[in-house]
Structure 1
């Protein structure tokens, strides 16, 4: 049966032989001398044939249709767009010339215009025009005509890559896989020689390699076809049986043509052995119904063909060559045909159209409501054989395991009943899950601008999940739930799609993880399972239970910390702890349930002494998190000055203990971060605990952290001692952070030198400052450099020269120290000293120590100047314009590459920055300046408020306003000062945006200044609109005055005459 619809030959049940359907149109017309000569009916004819017209000739037309600006919507107004009758005149002009005289539009233009109208009606009015044209206006012939317009144009767009260029037939048409073809070397005697293609029809290499706009244009048209067919099926299911048959007959004719033209893949009817344990699979329903589907479509195609030939014979006054024949095929319900349409959308990539159909289906309520049902219960326990034994000709539903008797089977009802499949108005959940899974295939991967971003992917997944969620699951969405195989599979597919780079964009992955409540894994704080233990695990535990989401969430937290996204890192860690606590709570509840069911005599009773010794207070509340993540979080809290969060990590009084256990203080992955935090907060007790927990040998990172701690505490003798120890005994040297932290301490000590203090006298402060300057001078002179530097490696010297240049740009003690160093000697300024190596970059973490000191001592404006002089501008980076959400870098376009250069991607301005700047900034670089500007803004607004209160009090006392302008809150000087601070904060907002910080986090970082900016923009916009309206009124008044003057002049001329 199926051969009659494949794109080879129509098996015509007539007294005459048939002819091929794929002959060129001109040859076909020459052979068709009478309507009785046999051959294809007009329902299969097309204005263009794939062999007659190459899509390469119309590449420019297709490109304009696909990438150009679409025409304007012909219907305006919300009420008009919701009215289907307003759209019908726009459809009428796309009917065939036989129905509307004088119509000579090009086929492609007609199809494009028709698809645009149908798309506009769905978008603006939520209307399916072809369904309304059929069921609302009973113009089914026009529906069929308009569908053929779309199909004719889609069939005519054949891309050159579909044409075989080889004259050898290697068996690719047989459906062999590449592995099967290449496993054994093919024998030349089995290779058939085909006729060489005509050289005039061979496509050029450019046509083969450029983007297939013809394919895109075909997809644009076919998307409207699938949506219209699905919508007609949904409307037919709501109608009476007679109206159902009428509408479905036109659906069958279109599906028959799609099968015939090869637009529907045979994979839809294939069925592998289904495994209910997998998350997504194709149930065997379409496979079992393939013969019946082909019978229905063949009968419809035959009936239409016979009617056309009979009508032509009647016009010519001859007898019809066909014998009336009725196949009497069992009717299939709209459930079957709707699921067939959905599987076609999945197989051919029309996933958005499939989702639109599902949402239209879900809008029906009460007795018209549609439901979802899984095949899992039918296929469990070898149920496939039971389902396969269903007698589709007599039964209404699929048989189920344990119900071999056909309860629906009743004699004599074959023609009066319909086979519905799973149930009436019910489709499988597997088709919905497959549609959701198919969306992952369309994520953006860096080619051009097409593809789903992670935000769009999460949105469509949530829309699909909302369709199949039960009321109970919808209520429980606010609570975290155990993992499921469906969500596990989907997450694995998203990770494998290469559309998400967690290191570059952790926010997208974090949002995806929070989009589903199924993230709670099993509580497993014991030793890992060995391979032999896996045999005892049930399929449910293997496929459903996983701790992978805890690991993924921790990975996202770590990526946030590396990128210095403080707020998101802390909130995501809270989400991780909530998932772990939920897992722990469920584990306790399951233990109590097992305890209630067990025999009291079998419950072991522990001795009190053992209980007191073995069950003390837990060391940590989150044992699953690694020390690397904790180290990153502590460092982030230190540099972002989020000290309460770090205190909670270390000194929480929860029953389960703090997240960071005391026994891990000596771990040298974590110890340097703890030492840096202890130095920043002056916590000597924490420093002693960490040092006492350390075991030798000490890592270089730990030793440098100890040096930084001694710098912060002003213990200069031990600073020198440790630097010498690192140089002499470890053959290493200082780190960037040590130098910058020492420089920042000098700036703060210089500022606090003449301020009164209870801790030290002026002489002690001066002595401490002198010691610090001496150590920094010795470092710049190379006294503490690595001993290997004397053998010819000059990397540290170049690094010191970069630091020297930074110090020279800061007037004050740092510039004085730089001038006293050996870098300030004439030899270092000689042109021959310039190195051929690139300037080494300073670590941004180290640079923040100096930047923070500059902002604290000189203000945010000085910090911004330091940025502009030494930091790369992220917005000028060539990667900035090519970055896409998800951490994907777009490939270069042809216009962005200059092949006349040795490096086609060379960017002179960016290369100049790389040669002059020494710091690559990150979010914390901006945060330091933003925090300083926010403090200045808060202090200045408080100062202005005090001035305003003083002015009000002065007026109330009758003293009058102060004479000095600076004492008035709205003076020009104060407004300019406030505006300067606001400009710095606005600059920080722009830099945060360039560095891709989410908007809600930007607003938090600048203390709601972004909201103030948005408010001012809205006020400014309203003022501009009002000013334009006033200008229009003035122009209208002027024009009216001119008109009145002209009228008066005319009257005066008449009176004079």
Structure 2
């Protein structure tokens, strides 16, 4: 009502505000207006979050206006009763026995809005007050609201210490206050109230206990709206930095970035670029002698870059290559914008600085160190990113990271080639992308002693990368050569990825039974057998679990592979499944290439956990599910576990595996990529799908869409990413309130 009153003419505003004052007076009488809003205690720290003294200094006028409004409301009700009942009431007069009407100083609507907002803050109605502030965002021309920093106003140099402060007179009527002061507060509130609500919103974070608190996604959106309101007037928080708000959001305990990294990208929108906060209106520094220094909390930090690095790491762990690309793009945009602002500020200062005659052009400005000028992505994180890009077969993106000709150079520069973690990732990428010169260059760099001679052994990770590359390319002579090399040089130890790549190669060579494939299959099995027996001691010591899991997957795909794996499973074994998602995805790639998307789906359903309980954190607000009311007992936990996977050998030996593999998003996208390849082949051959095949493809796509939803994707994003496959699956965008039932399995 107050917001609408400020848009109306004087007569309508008076009518609306009379009702507003009646309501506020009733709330005051009911004890709903906190008394603390009228208290003012100056803080020793000038930059502490503090309420302006306006309501404190005008409290007597506020209470007088509310009393007058209550009396007028009572007088009006009595007058109406008198007219209806034709009765005479002595109390129908405002002041019995007096000829004069009491004149009460009119207060501007902006002051009453301040009263309402501070009451919401002190009373704990944070979301209600935030909703009022969000209505002040300009939605059409002429509806703008202004913000004023009372701290800066009261400390301005134009204020003479000997004259009374006029700050509390600004909300008076034009009769009692000059026109300049009234224009200053026309449709204006204090910036301190916006800052206070930003602080209050963080305190309402949901932490998964009961139904208390607000979802972090909603809190972040509200804070972004309030930041927009401050940015429109060139204001910062004044009492803190936006980096500190971002830290508080993350440290509140209501956000699990590893499960919902998308929320980290949303929080990054709160980050201020180079010079934004220091140059704001309410960031003036306290006078210390003749020097002016910004407050300590405006010092530059690398928090925003750290948030983007953490989001990239979470997306990599979840197998979400689209999220990694988005985070990397946001990181580059952030650093580029900071550089542009820095250059613009430098030239503005240079333009405003007078040049002395006969003086050479030199910069007299102190260099500024700002962490946001460089991406500073850690090498291990870049290496994991390149591995995910290689697994997703986004070769053009990998080439741009290594061979980019931008002014800043490639993100993976030449100096990183000497790091064995990055070198191994580049070898894996170069082998898939057929970049032989790049692979040879890495081997030469990592194997040389600095004088061009092969004087030192290759790092075990480099050897594993080379071995994996040759296995993927089905170069079995090279595989045997690498094995002979590592056997003669101690220090090498195999990794689970090598076993997974061998298994994928065996699966790819098990479908087509022409003469060439038979020879390749024989060579592959011979190489795998030689590898297992050559490293039998190390594998049985540290990789027994992974080996048994991989052999179990091979045995469950095809009978011929099961017969081959029998020689390695001579004894009965019972163990837990400890195969990682990345290693399982390598084996799944072999299943998809050798047997198609339908067999890949069956493998995932057999060996991976199914929704919904296992993937509840991915859909929970902030990635943090609610704490259960009752602790699950050991018996209930045992009953709810998935059934054991049993692989029985012809000899009678049994491989019993407990638990499942925890898939990531890349697991499902691998199946979808295979479906797309099959669809492209069908369209190229102009062959029609049979009714049974079409139904099978449609069921697979619907299963994948539901699985991706439980892994954290929104349904609309799934449909957009599926592209033409969404039409094939007959998927349509659901209404905003749609959610898949949590008690339905993905195969339903």
Could you tell me which residue of structure 1 aligns to residue 389 of structure 2?
637
- Kindly indicate whether the alpha-carbon contact (under 8 Å) linking 1:937 and 1:978 is maintained by their aligned counterparts in 2: no
Q: Does 1:717 align with 2:480?
A: yes
- 1:864 paired residue among 587, 601, 618: 601
| Distance in 2 separating the partners of 1:1017 and 1:366 | 35
| Distance in 1 separating the partners of 2:629 and 2:152 | 52
Q: Deviations over 1:37-72 (max 9, x none)?
A: xxxxxxxxxxxxxxxxxxxxxxxxxxxxxxxxxxxx
Deviation at 1:999, TM superposition (A): 3.8
Deviation at 1:437, TM superposition (A): 3.8
Q: Does 1:923 align with 2:665?
A: yes
Q: Deviations over 1:481-522 (max 9, x none)?
A: 9x9966434433422333322221111221332x45844579
Could you tell me which residue of structure 2 aligns to residue 264 of structure 1?
34
| Distance in 2 separating the partners of 1:248 and 1:335 | 12
Where does 1:77-92 land on structure 2 (aligned, <5 Å)? none
Q: Does 1:908 align with 2:644?
A: no
- 2:111 paired residue among 329, 336, 358: 336
Higher RCO, 1 vs 2 (CA within 8 Å, ≥6 residues apart): 2
Deviation at 1:722, TM superposition (A): 5.1
Could you tell me which residue of structure 1 aligns to residue 495 of structure 2?
735
Deviation at 1:660, TM superposition (A): 0.9
- Kindly indicate whether the alpha-carbon contact (under 8 Å) linking 2:499 and 2:547 is maintained by their aligned counterparts in 1: no
| Distance in 1 separating the partners of 2:733 and 2:243 | 45
**CA separation of 1:988 and 1:316: change in aligned 2, threshold 3 A:** closer
Q: What's the C-alpha RMSD, in Å, of the aligned pairs? A: 4.7
Q: Deviations over 1:133-174 (max 9, x none)?
A: xxxxxxxxxxxxxxxxxxxxxxxxxxxxxxxxxxxxxxxxxx
Could you tell me which residue of structure 2 aligns to residue 121 of structure 1?
none
Q: Name the SS for the 2:399 alignment partner.
A: helix
Deviation at 1:459, TM superposition (A): 3.5
Q: Name the SS for the 2:421 alignment partner.
A: coil
Q: Name the SS for the 1:665 alignment partner.
A: helix
Which 10-residue stretch deviates more, 580-589 or 669-678?
580-589
Where does 1:12-31 land on structure 2 (aligned, <5 Å)? none
Where does 1:361-760 land on structure 2 (aligned, <5 Å)? 370-380=145-155, 389-390=164-165, 395-396=169-170, 423-449=185-211, 451-465=213-227, 467=229, 470=232, 487-513=242-268, 515=269, 518-519=272-273, 538-539=293-294, 543=298, 545-593=300-348, 597=353, 598-599=355-356, 602-603=359-360, 624-694=376-446, 700-713=460-473, 714=475, 715-721=478-484, 724=487, 729-730=490-491, 733-749=493-509, 754=514
Q: Does 1:854 align with 2:591?
A: yes
Could you tell me which residue of structure 2 aligns to residue 147 of structure 1?
none
| Distance in 1 separating the partners of 2:664 and 2:583 | 12
Deviation at 1:750, TM superposition (A): 5.3
**CA separation of 1:656 and 1:797: change in aligned 2, threshold 3 A:** closer
| Distance in 1 separating the partners of 2:185 and 2:143 | 13
- Kindly indicate whether the alpha-carbon contact (under 8 Å) linking 1:937 and 1:982 is maintained by their aligned counterparts in 2: no
Could you tell me which residue of structure 1 aligns to residue 743 of structure 2?
none
User: Number of paired residues?
Assistant: 680
- Kindly indicate whether the alpha-carbon contact (under 8 Å) linking 1:675 and 1:687 is maintained by their aligned counterparts in 2: yes
Where does 1:290-301 land on structure 2 (aligned, <5 Å)? 290-297=59-66
| Distance in 2 separating the partners of 1:345 and 1:242 | 24
Deviation at 1:865, TM superposition (A): 1.8
Deviation at 1:385, TM superposition (A): 9.0
Which 10-residue stretch deviates more, 589-598 or 323-332?
323-332
**What TM-score do the two structures reach when normalised by structure 1?**
0.56
Could you tell me which residue of structure 2 aligns to residue 808 of structure 1?
555
Could you tell me which residue of structure 1 aligns to residue 622 of structure 2?
886
- Kindly indicate whether the alpha-carbon contact (under 8 Å) linking 2:387 and 2:429 is maintained by their aligned counterparts in 1: yes
Deviation at 1:387, TM superposition (A): 11
| Distance in 2 separating the partners of 1:285 and 1:570 | 50
Query: Which sections of structure 2, spanning at least 5 residues, go unmatched?
Result: 82-87, 277-289, 364-372, 448-455, 646-655, 735-748
- 1:349 paired residue among 114, 119, 124: 124
Q: Name the SS for the 1:539 alignment partner.
A: coil
| Distance in 2 separating the partners of 1:579 and 1:642 | 24
| Distance in 2 separating the partners of 1:262 and 1:284 | 21
Q: Name the SS for the 2:120 alignment partner.
A: helix
Could you tell me which residue of structure 2 aligns to residue 283 of structure 1?
52
Larger Rg: 1
Where does 1:178-197 land on structure 2 (aligned, <5 Å)? none
Where does 1:54-203 land on structure 2 (aligned, <5 Å)? none
**What TM-score do the two structures reach when normalised by structure 2?**
0.77
| Distance in 2 separating the partners of 1:387 and 1:233 | 37
- 2:11 paired residue among 239, 245, 251: 239
Deviation at 1:300, TM superposition (A): 6.3
Q: Deviations over 1:378-419 (max 9, x none)?
A: 1445889969933689x5559xxxxxxxxx99xxx6699999
| Distance in 1 separating the partners of 2:443 and 2:409 | 22
| Distance in 2 separating the partners of 1:632 and 1:521 | 33
Q: Name the SS for the 2:122 alignment partner.
A: helix
- Kindly indicate whether the alpha-carbon contact (under 8 Å) linking 2:417 and 2:423 is maintained by their aligned counterparts in 1: yes
Q: Deviations over 1:256-292 (max 9, x none)?
A: 314xx365141553344386656x5432322333344
- Kindly indicate whether the alpha-carbon contact (under 8 Å) linking 2:597 and 2:675 is maintained by their aligned counterparts in 1: yes
Deviation at 1:638, TM superposition (A): 0.5
Deviation at 1:361, TM superposition (A): 5.7
Deviation at 1:736, TM superposition (A): 1.2
Q: Deviations over 1:520-568 (max 9, x none)?
A: 579xxxxxxxxxxxx9993178517444222322221222122111112
Deviation at 1:335, TM superposition (A): 1.7
| Distance in 1 separating the partners of 2:158 and 2:642 | 66
